[in-house]
Amino acid sequence: MTSPPGAEKKIDAGICGILFGWLGIHKFILGYIPEGTILLCASLLTCGCLIPITGGIGLIEGIIYLAKTDEDFVATYITNKRNWL
């Protein structure tokens, strides 16, 4: 059984969300440039004060990405473009 197109981003986005969520890398992997920029700027422009919040968002999103089946992941984040959580 083959994975749907776009499913190959699930593992990369999930791991990057867990490890580097405060940088917004997982958003950039999925093609969500404005959302990734928001996370990155919120972390850097506040001199790191918001890293616990942006990192928490990334951690939660990374876990959600990895917990979904390939089909659900593609339907939610690739096809329907659900931007946040």
- On whether residue 71 sits in a domain, the answer given is yes
Res 80 pLDDT > 90 = yes
What CA–CA distance (Å, rounded) separates 85 from 77?
10
Percentage of the chain with pLDDT > 90? 87
Domain count, the chain: 1
Q: What is the pLDDT of residues 18-51, one digit of tens each?
A: 999 999 999 999 999 999 999 999 999 999 999 9
> What is the pLDDT, as a whole number, of residue 1?
65
Res 11 pLDDT > 70 = yes
- On whether residue 6 sits in a domain, the answer given is no
pTM confidence score:
0.90
- Dihedral angle of Cα 66, 85, 35, 26, to the nearest 10 degrees: -10
Q: Which two tokens stand for residue 14?
A: 């999930």
> What is the pLDDT, as a whole number, of residue 84?
85
Quote the domain boundaries for residue 29. 17-79
